[in-house]
Amino acid sequence: MSEPLNLQQIRDFKGTYPKQLFYLFGTEMWERFCFYGLRGMLVVFMATELMMPEKQANLQYGAIQAFVYAFTFLGGVFADKILGFQKSLFWGALLMIVGGFVIAAAPKELFYIGICFNIIGTGFFKPNISTMVGQLYHEGDARRDAGFGLFYMGINVGAFLGGLLMVWVGKSYSWRAAFALVGVVMIISLINFAWRRRTFGPIGLSPLHPDLPAAKRKMYEWGTYIGSLAVVPLILLMVTNTAYTDLFMYIVGPLTLVYLAWEMRTFSRAENLKLGAALIFIFFSIFFWAFFEQSGGSLSLFALNNLHPSLFGFPVDTNSVNNAANSLFVIAFSAVVGLVWLWLSKRGKEPNSVVKFGLGFLFLGAGFYIFKSTLGYADENGVTSTEVFTFAWFVITFGELCLSPIGLSLMTKLSPLRIQGLMMGMWFLASAYGQYAAGLLGAGMSAEDPGASNYEKLVLYTDGYGELGLYALIAGGALILIAPLVRRMMQEVR
């Protein structure tokens, strides 16, 4: 076998994308297949198999999603300090495999235990694979954003297929098979990575000092593995009591900020200014996800009750449209958007990342105004146009593409190497808050009166979407206004 490449050789790749990006693409694609597959199954499984009332199922769903993203913070920290990204990926994948098979063994009885394995597993996996993408590039390489764009497409290929397939297997074939599929697919993801592992050279190896005695190194590593298993009962307790989720969310964010401040004391002023800029991006992303994640909540109900079951004359399931349209648009346009940035950059006209974020919010706002406009197309039963609804997703997707892959890329550009995992974890922690807030916003928009007509519900939702649209436009404007300041904080990072 040929010698593994060194960092310089990896980063000196020719062409638009490094070959390792395609391996990470495949690995992450299968992980997201499971994540979005599970996401699509959770509420349905809880409502129809665990016989949970809908309100509780929604809360439970929000709690699980918030925990999944919140644990990425810890996964990032342990990768930075002890495991390195590669071992974190292995360990995360292994936990997810166990999680899938545990639930498959007895779906009703072992559901929550399996979910806990998935929460911890995703925590170790998700932030660290994203950080590895960033490490394929030299500082200042203009191709980095295009790379994240392609990686983001992989995420959505997985999201699309998993979202479509798994709930269908569960509903029409067997829930056991659907949960077992998580285990099987994560095995594929893991093999895909293990097979190509050597091509990553030193990227993602243990951050522990090379002089550290082997016994100590093993102790730290095994301590992490055993510790992460030991917290399963605690997570179980918190996930099954959604009141604890609130408490958890109040505590975890401030704690991470304190921890970051502690880390920041050892960095130079220039590095800390960049971290400050990263925090501004993270802060705004909470709002983005809080609005965007209406998709799994209020927009699902909107799709269920208020959309005409046809698209351009073809009969459709309106919930499938709501679940899949966004992923399909990302698949179709993410590489294009990445290449547009590259094209602009070659001409010195690429907008900086703060402005891209601002644009992301403007697209989001425009999309929500389009959701609002569906009221004008409604009949007296409150049933409105699926075409207009889908068009809103089309517009929002461009917002997502201006913000989400760029945010991943930024975290890798703005963080010192030693805390890249932590910062990526914080980026996803913002998604945890977004998910959490999305549930609260959705609940606030829904009708109090259980006997409300479809038309009344439509009026309430479209009013709410109009408000969200306005807030998104304000956030976009604010970002564009503060762009010069944030740009200065970012220094040479674009």
**Least distance (Å) between residue 405 CB and ligand GLN:** 9
Closest CA to 35 of 422, 327, 433, 240: 327
> Rounded CA gap, 72 and 202, in Å?
23
- Contacting residues for 65 by C-beta, under 8 A, at least 6 apart: 39, 296, 432, 435
Told to check if 155 binds ligand GLN by CB under 6 A, we report yes
Residue with smaller CB distance to ligand GLN, 100 or 127:
127
Pairing label, strands 310-311, 314-315:
antiparallel
Q: Contacting ligand GLN (CB under 6 A), which of 404, 409, 412, 415? A: 404
| Spatial contact of 341 and 331, defined as CB atoms under 8 Å apart | no
Least Å distance between CB 192 and ligand GLN? 17
Task: Enumerate residues 430-459 that contact ligand GLN by CB under 6 A.
Answer: 431
Q: Which tokens go with 53?
A: 């009332």
Residue found by looking up tokens 């016994």 in the block? 215
In the complex, least distance from residue 92 CB atom to ligand GLN, rounded to whole angstroms:
14
122 contacts 72 by C-beta, under 8 angstroms: yes
Listed residue (197, 179, 217, 237) closest to 24, CA to CA: 197
Residue 397 lies near ligand GLN (rule: CB under 6 A): no
Binding mask 175-204 for ligand GLN (x = CB under 6 A): ------------------------------
- Position of minimal CB gap to ligand GLN: 431
**Of 61, 89, 54, which is closest to residue 75 (Cα–Cα)?**
89
Do 99 and 185 touch, CB atoms closer than 8 A?
A: no
- Angle at CA 86, nearest 5°, toward 141 and 34? 95
* Residue whose CB is less far from ligand GLN, 189 or 404: 404
In the complex with ligand GLN, the residue whose CB is nearer, 155 or 396, is 155
Identify which of residues 13 and 433 has a Cβ nearer to ligand GLN in the complex: 433
Type of residue at 274: K
- Compute the least distance from the CB of residue 155 to ligand GLN, in Å: 5
Q: For ligand GLN, which is the closer residue by CB, 58 or 397?
A: 397
DSSP codes, 395-413: HHHHHHHHHHHHHHHHHHH
Distant-in-sequence, close-in-space partners of 463: CB < 8 Å, separation ≥ 6: 372, 445
| Minimum CB–partner distance for residue 403 and ligand GLN (Å) | 9
Residues 7-46 that bind ligand GLN (CB under 6 A): 32
Name which of 390 and 404 has its Cβ closer to ligand GLN: 404
**Least spacing, CB of residue 262 vs ligand GLN, in Å:** 25
> What is the spatial distance between Cα 228 and Cα 116, in angstroms, rounded to a whole number?
11
Q: Is 118 in the site for ligand GLN (CB under 6 A)?
A: no
What part of residues 243-302 is at the interface with ligand GLN (CB under 6 A)?
Answer: 289
CB of 73 to ligand GLN, least distance (A): 13
Residue 293 DSSP code: G
Nearer to ligand GLN, 33 or 175 (CB): 33
Strand partners, 62: none
* Binding map of ligand GLN across residues 339-378, x = CB under 6 A, - = no contact: ----------------------------------------
Round to whole Å and give the CA distance between 370 and 395. Answer: 9
Residue 340 CB, shortest distance to ligand GLN, in Å, is 20
* Shortest spacing between CB 455 and ligand GLN, in angstroms: 33
For residues 34-44, one letter each, b for 16 or more C-beta atoms within 10 angstroms of the residue's C-beta and e for the rest, the string is bbbbbbbbbbe
Cβ closest to ligand GLN, residue 13 vs residue 333: 333
227 Cβ partners below 8 Å, 6+ apart?
Answer: none
Nearer to ligand GLN, 102 or 479 (CB): 479
Residue 153 or 378: which CB sits closer to ligand GLN?
A: 153
Length of the chain: 494
Number of residues that bind ligand GLN (CB under 6 A): 6
Q: Does residue number 73 form part of the binding site for ligand GLN (CB under 6 A)?
A: no
Q: Which is nearer to ligand GLN, 96 or 104 (CB)?
A: 96
Question: Locate tokens 């606030």: which residue?
Answer: 444
CA gyration radius for the chain? 22
By CB under 6 A, is residue 67 in contact with ligand GLN? no
**Minimum CB distance to ligand GLN, residue 288 (Å):** 9
Smallest gap from residue 152 Cβ to ligand GLN (A): 7
Which spans of this chain sit near ligand GLN (rule: CB under 6 A)?
Answer: 32, 155, 289, 404, 428, 431
